Structure 1
Amino acid sequence: MSRRRPPALAGVVLGLLGLVLTLFAASPAVAASYRYWSFWDGANARWAYATQGPSTARPADGSVIGFRFSVSKDAAAEAAQPRAAADFAAVCADTAPAAGKKRVALVIDFGVPEDAPAGERLPQDAPRAVCAQVAPAGTAAEALAEVAKPLRYNASAMLCGISGFPRAGCGEPVADSGAGSAAATAPAASGTPAAQGPPPAAGDARDSGPSVGLVAGIAAIAALAAAGVLRSRRRRR
């Protein structure tokens, strides 16, 4: 007696499952690290990843803020923090209070040579710690502009360059290689990376794979087809 051919739906199920596996296999590796300036809040000699960008943050008088250029993960717990201590007294000791102004200590860390874009060198005076005096309502970006021009921003108002470094690029993805920022220490506390972290760059590998909606839709169709196969087999028994 010849064996009964499997229902046509079974072939559909196998085809859909094969398509799902093909999509995942063809999807490129996700770029996990980015080359960018991260922004930090300092308190009690410790650094915490800032929960908003420098253009909206308004540090109080006596605050410490930090900036670090590096190849880092786009996550607060894995980003490279400034290597100098968050010490307001040490940075602003020689800057006397002024009427109608607030003092903000800034620690600007240009990173390590391995993290610099190809063909660029770190500024000669890096890293640096400076005291800025701005209006009481001044933002972190305004304090930074007082002491570290020229600054460079992209169309999304993301900070791309401080004191002209780097000359080009802004939050571009970098393939993990285990070098450069691997020795960076983790921040003392986590924040919200989306508030200041790098946006997906054009051509980012994260945009070239199958979307979650597409895969979910295929999986749902496959599940319905499998249910149809089971019902068909039950009717034939």
Structure 2
Amino acid sequence: MRRALQAVLLAGTLTGLAAAPAQAQEYRYWSFWNGGGKDGSWAYATEGPATLRPADGAVEGFRFTVSADSAAAGKPRTAADFDAVCGTTPAKDGRKRIGIVIDFGTAADAPGGERPPKARTACAQVPADASAGEALAAVARPLRYDSDALLCGIAGYPKSGCADQVKDAGGGAGSGAGKATEADRAHDADRADGADADGGPSAGLLGGGAAVLVLGAAAGWQARRRRG
């Protein structure tokens, strides 16, 4: 199941699916985004944070979301604004500054019993050759992974689960996360303002696609499929 999910989400990233099939199975997971320029927009990442080595001045985003593929994934709700995130961090020789935006999603997207923390930003000052994954690890500990090296939690959220299927109120799968109540929306609006890896692999090995996969693990899976 996990490998099938990885394949679907990675395929959505590489091919830019226009829309999910009707009643497609949805999952709850962390998605990865790149800052799209001076307008503060976001573009869905086509390369994982393990291999992406952004230059000084880049902004990378992570959004907890519910969707069936990359086309339906929620974008970070904080603008990709480097000056706003890193404007007070002075440059240093041999290091670079990467703006990190972490959007914990809406109350409707949260696993049962949890409430999404307030969205946060941080300026990661890391070695010049650091990956986006290493920049995330520098500012958002603890990170949590599953046995297949899938990134399951950032800064301790969510506390459990990993790319779980979303079920409807009747117990069936594939009908979405449900509607937020007025209280949920008010909570989300209030929170939308403004790490050792708990036994998992090195954060520098973080891979990408819709669910922030370890790129090496995905490549290994593809190699095994070819051999099979």
Q: Check the 8 A contact 2:49/2:208 in 1, yes or no.
A: no
**Larger Cα-atom Rg:** 1
Offset at residue 114 of structure 1 (A): 1.4
Residue 153 (structure 1) aligned to one of 145, 149, 170: 145
- Percent same amino acid among aligned pairs? 54
Distance 1:43 1:169 in 2: 30
Length-normalised TM-score, structure 2: 0.63
Q: Which residue of 1 aligns with 2:36?
A: 43
Distance 1:180 1:161 in 2: 23
Residue 78 (structure 2) aligned to one of 81, 84, 105: 84
Q: Which residue of 2 aligns with 1:96?
A: 90
Shift of the 64–198 alpha-carbon distance from structure 1 to 2, 3 Å rule, reads: closer
Is 1:196 the counterpart of 2:209? The answer is yes
Distance 1:54 1:140 in 2: 5
Is 1:53 the counterpart of 2:32? The answer is no
Offset at residue 116 of structure 1 (A): 0.9
Q: Which amino acid aligns with 2:51?
A: T
Offset at residue 167 of structure 1 (A): 1.1
Q: Which amino acid aligns with 2:163?
A: G
Q: Which residue of 1 aligns with 2:192?
A: none
TM-superposition CA deviations, 1:27-63 (whole Å, max 9, x none): xx96521100000000221101101222222111110
Distance 1:154 1:178 in 2: 22
Length-normalised TM-score, structure 1: 0.61
Distance 2:52 2:35 in 1: 13
Shift of the 146–49 alpha-carbon distance from structure 1 to 2, 3 Å rule, reads: same
Residue 115 (structure 1) aligned to one of 109, 116, 121: 109
Q: Which residue of 1 aligns with 2:175?
A: 176
Offset at residue 195 of structure 1 (A): 4.7
Q: Which amino acid aligns with 1:179?
A: G
Moved over 4 A (4+): none
Shift of the 70–31 alpha-carbon distance from structure 1 to 2, 3 Å rule, reads: same
Q: Which amino acid aligns with 1:197?
A: A
Q: Which residue of 1 aligns with 2:120?
A: 128
Distance 2:41 2:91 in 1: 24
* Bigger proportion of residues as helix: 1
Distance 2:95 2:50 in 1: 18
Q: Which runs of 5+ in 1 are unaligned?
A: 1-28, 184-193, 200-237
TM-superposition CA deviations, 1:127-153 (whole Å, max 9, x none): 011110011111111111111100012
Distance 1:177 1:127 in 2: 22
| Equivalent residues, number | 157
